[in-house]
Amino acid sequence: MKVVSTANAPAAIGPYSQALDLGNMVFVSGQLPVDPATGVMPEAVEEQAKQSLANIKAILAEAGLGMENVVKTVIFLADIQDFAAVNAVYAEAFVQPYPARSCVQVAAIPKGAKLEIECIAVRE
């Protein structure tokens, strides 16, 4: 098992890794929509979705993978009413066949974010 870490995504804010590489699978921790260069989180949920997905893409790149390797995602929303807006951004980040996905509303997300996204990717 190898720890995946990049300065191109926000550092972990607790006792966890950005991702773990098991050789054929990479497990990416939930990514908040924080810009790693500035530490700033956008206001709009669409921009937050773009940033969280960009953070995932950076971590996958560090592991030598891309978004096309993602097989499963989980999206945590602070407000399920944001589902359609997030879904539109998400659709631009992936191509068919789309990853399996869960999307749920949660009581709260760290740092007051409107969403958090995690994923699992595989090497073929």
Whether 119 is catalytic: no
**Catalytic residue chosen out of the listed positions 20, 58, 103, 109:** 103
Cα–Cα distance for residue pair 51/106, rounded to 1 Å: 19
Cα–Cα distance for residue pair 104/115, rounded to 1 Å: 10
Both tokens assigned to 84: 């359609």
> In which band, very low, low, confident or very high, does the pLDDT at 124 lie, cut at 50, 70 and 90?
confident
Q: What DSSP character marks residue 73?
A: E
CATH classification number, 2-122, choose in 3.30.300.130, 3.40.50.300, 3.30.1330.40, 3.10.20.30: 3.30.1330.40
Summarised one tens digit per residue, pLDDT across range 51-109 is 999 999 999 999 999 999 999 999 999 999 999 999 999 999 999 999 999 999 999 99
Q: What is the pLDDT of residue 10?
A: 96
pTM of this prediction?
A: 0.97
Domain ranges of the chain: 2-122
20: buried, middle or exposed (CB in 10 Å: 19+, 13-18, 0-12)?
middle
